[in-house]
Structure 1
Amino acid sequence: MLELEKCFEEMDITVENIEKAIYQFYQYDAATQQQAHCWLTVAQASPAAWSFCWELLQPNKSIQVQFFGANCLHMKISKYWHELQQEQYEVLKTQLLQQIANYAKGPKIVLTRLCVTLAAFVMHTIPGYWPDPLETVMTMFQQANLPQVEPKQVCVILLEILTVIPEEFFSIHLTQYQKGVIRHELKKGSQHVLPFLQSLMNPSSPEEVYDQAMKCFSSWVQFGLPIYECEPMVEHLFEAIANESLFETAIEALSQVFLHPEAHKYPATILKFVPKVLALEAYLQKSIQENDLEVCQGITRLLSNLAENHTDLILNSTLQGGEQKDQVLSLVKFMMQCTAIPGTFPVDENCSDMTFSFWYVLQDDIVSSDPVKFEVYVPVFAPVYMTLVNVLLTKVQYPSDEVFAGMNNEEKEQFRCYRQDISDTMMYTYGILRESILVNLNSSLQGIIERSSTGNFKWQEIEAMLFLMGSIAESIDLEESVFLPNMFNMLPRLPFTNTILISTTLYTIGYYAEWINCHPDVLPSIIPLILEGMKNPEVAQSATLALKDVAREGQEHLKPFVHGILTASQVVLESGILKSRDSIRLMNCVGYVVSVLPVEEIMQYLNILLTPHMQKLDQLADQEPTAAVKAGILEKIQMLTWLFNSLDTRGEDEIRKEGGEMKVSGKKHSEGPQPVFLILRQVSPIMQKVINKWINDAGIIESICDLLKKCLRTLMDDFDPLVEEVSEMLAQIYCAAAHTPILDLAKQILLLFASDDKHKMTVQSLFLALCNKTLTVAETGARENTDLVEAFMLLLAQLIRKCSTCISFFFNEQCNILGLFQLEIDFCDFTAQPFQILLLFASDDKHKMTVQSLFLALCNKTLTVAETGARENTDLVEAFMLLLAQLIRKCSTCISFFFNEQCNILGLFQLGVVGISLPENGTVKASCSFLSEFITNSCKLPSVKEIILNHGHTLIERILRAIGGDSPRGVIDSMADVILALNRNHCEYFRKCLQGLLSQPDFPNNRVTQQQKEQFVKMVMKERVHKRRLKETVKEFTLMCRGMNGTEYAAQSVGRVVGISLPENGTVKASCSFLSEFITNSCKLPSVKEIILNHGHTLIERILRAIGGDSPRGVIDSMADVILALNRNHCEYFRKCLQGLLSQPDFPNNRVTQQQKEHFVKMVMKERVHKRRLKETVKEFTLMCRGMIGTEYAAQSVGLI
C-alpha cells in the first residue's frame, strides 16, 4: 500500500498518466481505486486540467477516458471559474459546442456530461457575456447546421441541453443575487422553449423525441414555470400515459406539475386536471386485473402527488359544494381504491403504501381546522375514514401460512414496516372517528367469536383487529368504560390457533397497561392469557413484556393474582425454556408483583424462586473461566439486578434523583430490612467468589457494579449496613484491576454517605484508594486508559460540586493533591471540568505556595520544551494553552498571583503567538483561547498591558497571515476571537497596526486588492460587540484571500450549514434542529425559500457526506430530521439534488454500489410522514457506507436484537 501511494505521489500530471490512472481505477482492487481516485481528483483541480481535458476528449480515447475528460471540464467550469480570464470565454464556448456536435452520435454518457458542462457555462456567462443562450443554442442545433447528424438526433441533443440548463441552475454554487439574475434571464428565455416543446409533444413525433421533450418539460416545471402557461402540454402528457413506452416519463412529468411549489396558487387550473386524473380509474382497474405492477405504481404515485399536495383544495371544494365537491370526493374515492388494491404487500402489490401520507395530511388539515369548518368536514369525511379502517383491516392481515413462509427475509421486513405504517395511519384516523372505531372493532370481534364456534374464521382477521386496536391505545381516553371492557373480556373466548395471533394479543394488552390500571376489573380476563403465554417459548417475549407493563402500571391491583403469577414464573424459570433476555425480564416482573406483599411473604416466595438460580451461580463461580461460564454468570447476575430494580416495598416513596444522580440527602430508614437487603446479604459470598476468579474481566465487574447500583438506588439510606463491606470490595477490585464502572458506583456511595459520621473513615479510605490507584495507572500508561482518567475526573468534579462541605475531608494531608493537579493538567482535554481542583485551591492559603510553585514549574518547563521543538510537542502546547485560558477565565481574581514577577509573562505571550502558527487545529484554537483571555484581562496588570503594546504588532501580523491562507479555514473563527479582544481592549493601537500591515503591497497575499483590504479594516473596527458579525467579516475576507469567493466552500459558509460538519455531537444536533425548523417554515417567507432553493444543494451534500461516514453515528438521527423537512417542504428539489449527488461515482464513498444508492433515494422519497421509518432507512444506509452491515452494531441499530 505504501509503495502504491508513493507511486501515485511521484506521477506527473500528464495525459498519459491520467489514462493510466483511469485504467487502474476501473480495473484494479479497492485500494488501488482509492489511490487512483485521490490522484485523479488532484489532477482535476490543477490548472493544467483546462488543457488536458480536451486531449482526453479525442475520438481515439476510450469511453472511460472521454467521460473523465468531460467530467473534468464540468468541474473546472463549476468550481474553478475564477481561474479563467474573460477573453478566454469565447474560445471555451466554441470548443464546448464543437465537442457536443462531435459526440452527437455518442457515446451518450459523454454527450450528456458535455451538455451539463454547457449548462454550467451558461450559468456563469448569462446575461453579462452571453445574453441569449437559449435562443442561440436552439438556433445552432438545427438540421441545417449539423447536416452529418440525423434530424431526430439533433432534436434529442437540443432537448438534452434544454433539459439540463434548469437542472444546473439548482446545483451550481453562486450568490443569491447572481441566482436571482439568472432566474430572471432563464424565465425570459423560456418563452422560446415552451412553444418548441409543445410542437414536439404530439403523437406524430418519434417516441424518443416525445420522451425527451416530456423530460425537458418536467425540468422546466421544476424550475418554476407558472402552471397556467403549461395547460396545453399537460393535455399532451395525459395522452402519452396510454403509450406504454412513454408511460413512466409522462407520469413523472405530471407529478412535477402537481408538486409545483406554487401550484396551490392556481386551484382553478388544478381542478381542470382532476377529471383527467379520474379518467385513469379504468386504466388502473385493467392493470390490476392484468397484474401490471408498474402501471399500478405509476398511477398511484401520480394520484398521491396530486391529492397529498392539494388537501386544501379538496377541503375548500367540499365547502363550495356542487360539481366541485363531487369531483374532489371522487378523487378521494379513487385514492381509497389505490389503498385497497388487492394483494399482499410487497408480494402482490407495491403501491398502496404511497397513499398513507395523503390520509395523514388530510386528517391533520381537518383536525387543525377552525371549529366551524371542522363541523362541516367531519360528516363528509368520517364515512371515508371508516371505510379506510375496513380497508386497513384487510391490508394489515398476514397472508396465508404458505405465502408467508415463501416470502424472503427482505420481503418479510418490508411487510413488517408496512404494518407499522398502517398502525401509524390508524392512529391518525382516530382523531376523526374517535369512539366509532371502537364500535367497529368491537362488533367485528364479536362477530368473529360467534363464527369461531362453527370453525368459520381466519386467525389473520382476529390478529389484524387486535393489531389495529393496539395502534390506537395511546389515543384512547383513560376514562373509556363502554367498549374496551367488553373487548378485553372477550379475549379469553378467542380461538388462539397461531403464535403470531397470541403475540399480537399479548402486545396489545401491554399497550393498554395504563388504561388497565384505571380499569382493574379486566385483569381476570387478561392475567391467565399472559401466564399461559409465558409457557410458550415462541411468545414468551410478548408475554413477559405485557406482564412487565401491566405490573409496572397497576402494581397495587395485582395482589389477588400474586400467587398465580409467581407460581407460573417459578415453573417457566425452572423449565429453562426461556431465552436469557426473557428470563431477565420475567425477574423484573416478579419484583413488581411481590412488592405488594409483606416482607415475610416476599421472602418466602423469593427463597423458593431464587434458590435454584443462586445455587447455579455458586456452581458457576467455582468453575474455570470459559465463554459459556461467563454467559451463565452474566445471566444470573442480570436476573438479580433487574429483580432489585423493581423490588421496593416502600410504597409511594420514590427514589430521589437529580439528573440521574442520587442527591446527597438520603431517605429515611424503613421500619424493617428490605427484601433487596436480605437477598444481597445472601448473595454477597457468592459474588465475592465470582470477583476473586473474574476480577480482571470488565464485563463481569460491570454487571456486579450495575447490581449494586440498583440496590443502592432502591435502598438509599437502608444500604447503610452494607457500606463498609461494599466499599472494601470496591477498593479491592479497583486496586487489583482498575475498571471504569467501579468509579461510577463509588461516586454514588461517596456522595450519599460522605456526611455520615458513622461511615466517614470508610468512604475516606475508599476515596484514597481510588486516588492512589488512578495516579499509579496514569503514571505507567495514562494514554492507554483515557476512559478511566475521564471517569475519575468526573468523580472529582461531582464531589467538588455536590459535596462541597466535605472537600477538606476528602482532600486532606493523606491525599496526593499535587498528583491530582498534574493529572488534571496532563489530561485537560479529556476531563468534563478541567482544572477544577487547581482552581479550587488557588485561593486556599494552605495550598497557595504549592499551587504557585506548580504553576511556575509548568510554565518554565513548557517554555523550555517549546523553545527546542514546539512543532514536535503540539499536544503539550495545546494542553498548556488551555490551562492558561482556564486559569484566566475562571480565576480572574488570582491573575496577579499567577502572573507575578517570577513568571515569564512575555514568554507565555510569545508561545501563544507561536501556537497560532502551528499546523494542528486544536493547538491553534487553544492558543487563540489563551490570547483572547490574556488580552481581555491585560488592563488589570500594567506588565501584561505593556507586553501587548510592545509586542502586539507581531501577533496581529501572524493573525493576518493565518487569515490570508497560512492556517486552515477551520481555525479562522478562533482568530476572530483574538481580533475582538484586541478591538475591545486596545482599539486605537489595533487600528494603527491593522492599517499599517494591510497597506503593504501583496500582504497578506496578492489575491486581495487594496480597496478590499480597506473595506475589511472598516468592517472589523465597526464590530466591537457582535462576535457573529465579526466572524462573518473575517470569513468573507479569508475566502477572498484564498480565491474562493463564489466557490462551493463560500456557498457553504454563507449557507450556514457548517455546523453539521463540526466534530461535536451537540453542535451537530443543534444545527440540525435549527435547519429542520428553518426548512419547515421556509415556504412562509419567499426570501427563506429562495435560500433553500439556491443553497440547499450544499446542505444535502453535507448531510450525505455525514451519513457516508464524515460524522459520528450518534448524530445520524438528527440528520434524518433535516431530510424529512426537505422531503416534506421541497420534495422535488430535494429528489433532484439527492439523485444528482448520489449519481456521482464513489459518493459519499466507494463502499456503496449505485444500486444501493438508488434504492436509498427511493426509500427516502417515500417517507414524508413516518419519521421512524425514515430514520431506519438512513441508519441502514449509513451502516452500508461504513461497511458495518452484518455486524453486531448493525443488528442493534436496526432493532433486531
Structure 2
Amino acid sequence: MADIQALLAALDVFSCAPDKASLDRANSWLQDFQHSPEAWATCNVLLLSPDAPLPAKQFAAQTFRTKVTYDLHELDQAAILSIRDTLLTAMERLHSGPKSIIVQLSLAISGLALQLPSWNVVQTMVDTFGRNPDAVMTLLQFLTLLPEEVNTNARIPITDEEFRERSAQLLTENATQVLELLSMYIQASGVTAPLQCQVFDCLYNWLYAGEISTTDLSKSPLFSCAFEALNSDQLFDSAVNVITELIHETQEIEDNMDVIGMIFPRLTAIRPLLAKYWDDSDKISGFARILSEAGETYRMLILQHMETFFPLVEAIGECAAHEDIDIIQITFPFWMRLAGTIGKKPSVPPLLVEAYRALMGVIINKLHFTPENSTGQAADDFRSFRHVMGDTLKDCCVVLRTDNCLLAAYQMITTVLARGPEAVTWQEIEAPLFAMRSMGAEIDPDDNNAVPKIMDLIPLLPNHPRVRYAALLIIARYTPWIDRHSSYIPAQLQYISSGFDDADPEVSAAAGQALKYLCQDCKAHLVDFIPTLHAFLSTTGSKLLQEDRRQVYEAIAYVISAMPMDQAAQSLRTFALDILSQVHAITTKQTPPTKEEFEEVGNGLENLETMMHIIGGFGEDLPPACQGTCEEAWGIFDRFLAKFGNNYDLAERTTRVLRHGLTLFGESCLPIAASVIARMSLAFEATGFPSFIWIAGKIVGTFGNEEDPTLRSAFQETYERTTRKVASFLSVKTPGNIPDVLEDYMQLLHQILDYAPDIFFVSSAFPLVFQAGMATLTLVHTDILFATLNLFRTILTHDCLLSDTAPVPPPKFPIYASAIRQVMDKEGFNFLNYLLNGLVGDFPDDSTATVVSIFRAIVVGWPSEVLVWLPPILQQIPPTAAPVQSKTQFLSEVTTAINQRQFDKVKYAILALNRASKKARERRRAILQRG
C-alpha cells in the first residue's frame, strides 16, 4: 500500500501543474519506480483495482509494457503466466476504453507473446474478444498493433533465430485467420464505420508487414470493399492507405499480373472522380496518392503497354495541375522515376513527350508569384516549393531534352515581351526565368542552340528588381557554359556590375553571387579584368553591403588563383595593402574610433580572410612580392591587437587572418613566431578570448620541432599563462559556460604535449592542466570530450611510465613519470570518478575504446589505489545510469583482474558496464518518448 500511495502521489503532481522542479522530481521518481522489481506487484494491483484512477491505470499499463520489454528475466515461469492473465483480465475489463490504455496493454501482450513460444496469442485474443460484439474493437486494436510491435521492438531480448521463429508463429501462421476475420467483420450485419476503419487499419499493417499476400487479398471481400470505401467520407483515408499499400505490394509485376489486372480497371474508374471532387483537396490528395503509387509501381507496364496504361499517366497529370501545392508534390516522385526509366530508352513515346511537355507548362505556370504567396510565411513556403518544382523541371529535361525545355521557357518570355511594356507583368517573366535557372544544372556547356538566345535576352529584360534578381541567378548558374563561350563575359560583367547599383538588397546579393561564380568558373578568362575589379571596389565597394562586398573579394580571389605565381602574389599584395592600411589607420588614430570605423575594419579583415582562404599559399618558395610582407603585416597586427585586442569581433577576425597568414607564409613566419605567440598569450590572459589560444596552438603545431631558445621560452610562457587563465575561469564558471575556451585550450595542450613534453610535464602548470581536464570531462560536447580523453590517454600511457623496464630510458623520463604519479596520487580518485560517471553518462559511444585504454593504464599504474577508489565511486552512480547488479559485477571483475594481475581483463569489465549502462539509458529514453 505504501508503494501505491507513493505512486498515486507522484502521478497527482502532474494534474496539479506545479513548478517545473516538482514535475521533474515526480517524473524521475516514476521512471526509477518502473525500474524496480516492486513495480510488477504494484501495477498488478492498480490495473485490476476498480477504484484506481485512470491515470494510475494508464501508468500501470505503460509500466507493464516497459517491464515486459526489459525486465521479464526478473520473473519465474509461474509469475510470467500470472502477468499474462493480469493483462488479459485488464483488457477484458477495460475493453470499452480509454483507447490509450488498450494500446499499452496490446503492446505489452505483444511483447510478452514474443517471449512465450508456447502461447498462440492471436487465438487467445480471438477466443476472448472475438465473440463479444462490444469487444471486437479491442480485438482489432490488438491485431493492428501486433505486426508493428513484433517487427519494430528490437529491444526485446531474444536472439535473431528466436525472433524469426516467433515472428512466423505469431504473424505468418495466423495471417489466413486474420484475413478471414477481417473479411467477416467488414461486411457483418450492423457493422459501424469506426469498426470498418479499424478493419482497414489492421489490414494495412498486416499488408505492410508482408504477412498478407496480394493474391489472397484479391480473393477476399476486402479487395472490393477497399475500393468501394472510396465513396465514403468516413472510410476514405483508411481505404486510401490500404489501396496504396496493396499497389506497392504488387511491385513484383510478373508475379502479380492477375492482381494488377483486377486493380487497374478500378484505377481508371477513379479518373472521373477527379472532376467530381476537384474542390475537395482531401479527396483529390487521396486519389493522387493512389494514382501516383500505381504510376511508380507500374512504370514499366506504362512503357510496354502504352495505349492501355497511358490513361493512368493522364490522370496523374490532372492531379499535378491542381492548385493545391501539397497535392502537386504527391505526383513528383512518379514523374522523377518515370523520367529515370525513360532516360535509359533509345527513344521516347510521343504520348509521354506530350505528357511531360504539358507537365512543364503546368509547372512553369505554378511558379508564378501571386498576391496570396508573395508575402510572409506563405512566400517562404512558396519559395521552398519552387525549388522542389525546379527538380521536376529537371525531370522534364531528361525526357524532352534540356535545350527544348529552355527554348520553351524562352518562347514564353518573348511572347510576353511582344505584347509591349505596358501589358507585361513581372511575374510572367520571372517564372520562366526561374525555370531556366532550375534547368541550368542540366545544360550542355557546348550548347549553341538555346543558351545563346537566353544570354542575348537577358540585357533586354525589363528593369524590375524581381526580374533582375532572377536573371542574375541565371548567370550564376550558367557560368560553366560562359566559360566555354568567353565572348559573353564582358556583357555579363556589365549586367552584374549594374546589379550592385540596384536599391533592392536581394538584387545586389544576386549580383555578388553571379560575380563569384563567374570568377570561379571563368577565372582564366578574367585575369585581365583584375584592374577593372580593383577600380570597381575602390569606387563602388564602400556602397555595398558587407555580404555583397565579401562576395566580390571572393570572386577576385578566384581570378588571382588562376594567375602565374608572381603576378598572383603582386595582385594579392595590392588588395591586402588596401585593407592593412585601414588597420594601420585605426591603430594610429589619436581619437577613439567610432562603432562604424570598428565595423569597417572588421569587414576588411573578413574580406582579407576570404581572399587568403581561397588563394591558399604559394608553396615553399615565396614570390618576390611576398618577401618582407610577413614581418610588415605582423607589425601592423601586433600594434592593432595591443590596442584593440579586447574587442571580441576584431580579435576573431584578426586571428583568422593570422591563421591563413601562417599557411601562406609557412617557414617565413619563423622569425616572428615567438613574437606572435607571446602576443597571443598576453591577449588571452587579458581577455580570455579563445581565438588567441587557437592561434597559439597552431604556431606550436607548426614550429614545435624548432630548437630556438626564444621560441621554446615563448611556448612555456604561453603554456603557463593560458593554464592559469583557464584555471581562474573554472574557479568561477562551469565548463558549460566556456566550451569554446576549453576546446581551443585542449588543442593547445595536445600540441605542447606532442612537441614539448619537457615543458608540459615539468612545468608547475601540469597539476592545473589535470584539474582543468577533469572539469572538461563534464561537457556534453563530442569533439571536446574526445580531445580531453585523448589527452589523458597520452599522459597515462606515456612511455615514461614504463621506463623502469626500458634498458636505457631517456634522461627526462623519470622526471615526467614523477610528475604524473604525483598528480595521480592526489587526483586519481576524482579522475576515476569523472571517467566512470562519463562512461555511464554522457560520453559518446565512440569514446569507449579510449576509456578502456585509460582505465587499463590506471589499473596497471595504481592497482591497490583503484581497489580503494572504486567502491565509493560505484556507490554514488545511480541505478538508472548503471544497474546495481552490473556495478557489483564490474567491481568483482576488476578486483579479480588486479589480484591475478591479468590487467587485460579490465577491458571486458568496462565493456560489460558500458553495455548495461547503455541499455538502462535506452530504456529511460524509450519511456520518455512514449510519454
Partner of 2:461: 494
Query: In structure 1, what is the Cα distance between the partners aligned to 2:250 and 2:900?
Result: 43
Contact 2:579 2:604 in 1 (8 A): no
2:140 paired with 1:159? yes
Listed as ranges, the matches of 1:351-430 within 5 Å are 351-367=327-343, 374-375=345-346, 381-395=352-366, 397-400=367-370, 402-405=371-374, 407-409=375-377, 411-430=378-397
* CA offset digits 1:297-349 (Å, max 9, x no partner): 222222233333x1xx4215533x3xxx43432222222222222x2xxxx44
Residue 230 of structure 1: how far off its partner (Å):
0.6
2:840 paired with 1:855? no
* CA offset digits 1:955-1004 (Å, max 9, x no partner): xxxxxx999652579x99x99999999699xxxxx9xxx9xxxxxxxxxx
| Equivalent residue in structure 2 for 1:770, among 715, 719, 724 | 715
2:660 paired with 1:710? yes
Residue 245 of structure 1: how far off its partner (Å):
1.2
Partner of 1:1155: none
1:295 is matched by which residue type in structure 2? Answer: K
* CA offset digits 1:68-108 (Å, max 9, x no partner): 23323333334333333333455444443343333233333
2:356 is matched by which residue type in structure 1? Answer: Y
Residue 251 of structure 1: how far off its partner (Å):
1.0
Query: In structure 1, what is the Cα distance between the partners aligned to 2:863 and 2:417?
Result: 89
Partner of 1:939: none
Higher relative contact order at CA 8 Å, sep ≥6: structure 1 or structure 2? 1
Q: Secondary structure, in 3 states, of the residue corresponding to 2:653? A: helix
* CA offset digits 1:619-673 (Å, max 9, x no partner): 88942797x7654442232233335556x7xxxxx736xxxxxxxxx53242445
Query: In structure 1, what is the Cα distance between the partners aligned to 2:895 and 2:262?
Result: 60
Listed as ranges, the matches of 1:822-861 within 5 Å are 822=766, 826=770, 829=789, 831=791, 834=794, 839=799, 848-856=810-818, 858-859=820-821
Partner of 1:33: 23
Contact 1:423 1:471 in 2 (8 A): yes
Distance 1:203 1:332, change over 3 A: farther
* CA offset digits 1:937-969 (Å, max 9, x no partner): xxxxxxxxxxxxxxxxxxxxxxxx999652579
Partner of 1:557: 525
Partner of 1:927: none
2:232 paired with 1:243? yes
Query: In structure 1, what is the Cα distance between the partners aligned to 2:899 and 2:365?
Result: 68
| Equivalent residue in structure 2 for 1:196, among 181, 185, 209 | 181
Listed as ranges, the matches of 1:217-228 within 5 Å are 217-223=203-209, 224-228=211-215
Contact 1:838 1:851 in 2 (8 A): no
Partner of 1:692: 642
* CA offset digits 1:230-256 (Å, max 9, x no partner): 113121100011011111111122223
Contact 1:507 1:545 in 2 (8 A): yes
Partner of 2:762: 818
Partner of 1:230: 217
Distance 1:420 1:113, change over 3 A: same
Q: Secondary structure, in 3 states, of the residue corresponding to 1:399? A: coil
Normalization by structure 2: what TM-score? 0.79
Residue 837 of structure 1: how far off its partner (Å):
12
Q: Secondary structure, in 3 states, of the residue corresponding to 2:506? A: coil
Query: In structure 1, what is the Cα distance between the partners aligned to 2:684 and 2:30?
Result: 51
Tell which deviates more after alignment, 430-439 or 236-245.
430-439
Q: Secondary structure, in 3 states, of the residue corresponding to 2:617? A: coil
2:493 paired with 1:523? no
Query: In structure 1, what is the Cα distance between the partners aligned to 2:496 and 2:16?
Result: 61
Partner of 1:113: 104
Residue 212 of structure 1: how far off its partner (Å):
1.9
Residue 376 of structure 1: how far off its partner (Å):
5.6
Partner of 2:747: 791
Residue 228 of structure 1: how far off its partner (Å):
0.6
Partner of 1:932: none
Q: Secondary structure, in 3 states, of the residue corresponding to 2:789? A: coil
Contact 1:470 1:511 in 2 (8 A): yes
| Equivalent residue in structure 1 for 2:95, among 104, 114, 131 | 104
2:293 paired with 1:305? yes
Distance 1:163 1:752, change over 3 A: closer
Distance 1:192 1:442, change over 3 A: closer
* CA offset digits 1:717-761 (Å, max 9, x no partner): 7xx4x7646752542342343555445546666777899xxxx89
Residue 552 of structure 1: how far off its partner (Å):
2.6
1:390 is matched by which residue type in structure 2? Answer: G
- Taking every aligned residue pair, what percent have the same amino acid on both sides? 18
Partner of 2:679: 732
Residue 488 of structure 1: how far off its partner (Å):
1.3
Partner of 1:1124: none
Query: In structure 2, what is the Cα distance between the partners aligned to 1:458 and 1:888?
Result: 75
Q: How many residues align structurally?
A: 870
Residue 295 of structure 1: how far off its partner (Å):
1.1
Residue 277 of structure 1: how far off its partner (Å):
2.0
* CA offset digits 1:842-870 (Å, max 9, x no partner): 9999983331244256447745876x999
Query: In structure 2, what is the Cα distance between the partners aligned to 1:298 and 1:458?
Result: 36
1:700 is matched by which residue type in structure 2? Answer: L
Residue 386 of structure 1: how far off its partner (Å):
3.7
Partner of 1:898: none
Residue 528 of structure 1: how far off its partner (Å):
1.8
Distance 1:854 1:293, change over 3 A: same
Q: Secondary structure, in 3 states, of the residue corresponding to 2:447? A: coil
Contact 1:842 1:851 in 2 (8 A): no
* CA offset digits 1:473-511 (Å, max 9, x no partner): 3443333333322321221111232x3332222222122
Normalization by structure 1: what TM-score? 0.63
Q: Secondary structure, in 3 states, of the residue corresponding to 1:819? A: coil
Listed as ranges, the matches of 1:888-907 within 5 Å are none
Q: Which blocks of at least 5 consecutive residues in structure 1 are unaligned?
A: 1-11, 649-653, 657-665, 801-809, 890-903, 924-960, 985-989, 995-1026, 1051-1060, 1062-1097, 1106-1140, 1151-1201
Query: In structure 1, what is the Cα distance between the partners aligned to 2:818 and 2:569?
Result: 65
Query: In structure 2, what is the Cα distance between the partners aligned to 1:694 and 1:608?
Result: 20
1:486 is matched by which residue type in structure 2? Answer: K
Distance 1:116 1:32, change over 3 A: same
* CA offset digits 1:132-168 (Å, max 9, x no partner): x43443333356xx5xxxx4x3332332233233333
Query: In structure 1, what is the Cα distance between the partners aligned to 2:83 and 2:710?
Result: 80
Query: In structure 1, what is the Cα distance between the partners aligned to 2:123 and 2:257?
Result: 32
Residue 194 of structure 1: how far off its partner (Å):
1.9
2:272 paired with 1:328? no
* CA offset digits 1:1113-1172 (Å, max 9, x no partner): xxxxxxxxxxxxxxxxxxxxxxxxxxxx7xx7x428x8xxxxxxxxxxxxxxxxxxxxxx
Partner of 2:159: 175
2:64 paired with 1:73? yes
Listed as ranges, the matches of 1:443-482 within 5 Å are 443-444=410-411, 447-448=414-415, 450-451=417-418, 453=420, 455-482=422-449
Query: In structure 2, what is the Cα distance between the partners aligned to 1:469 and 1:408?
Result: 25
Partner of 1:1023: none
2:891 paired with 1:966? no
Contact 2:339 2:396 in 1 (8 A): yes
Contact 1:841 1:847 in 2 (8 A): no
Distance 1:690 1:789, change over 3 A: same
Distance 1:708 1:821, change over 3 A: closer
Distance 1:835 1:876, change over 3 A: farther
Query: In structure 2, what is the Cα distance between the partners aligned to 1:197 and 1:161?
Result: 13
Contact 1:21 1:40 in 2 (8 A): yes
Query: In structure 2, what is the Cα distance between the partners aligned to 1:110 and 1:354?
Result: 35
Q: Which blocks of at least 5 consecutive residues in structure 2 are unaligned?
A: 731-740, 774-787, 840-846, 878-882
Residue 831 of structure 1: how far off its partner (Å):
3.3
2:199 paired with 1:210? no
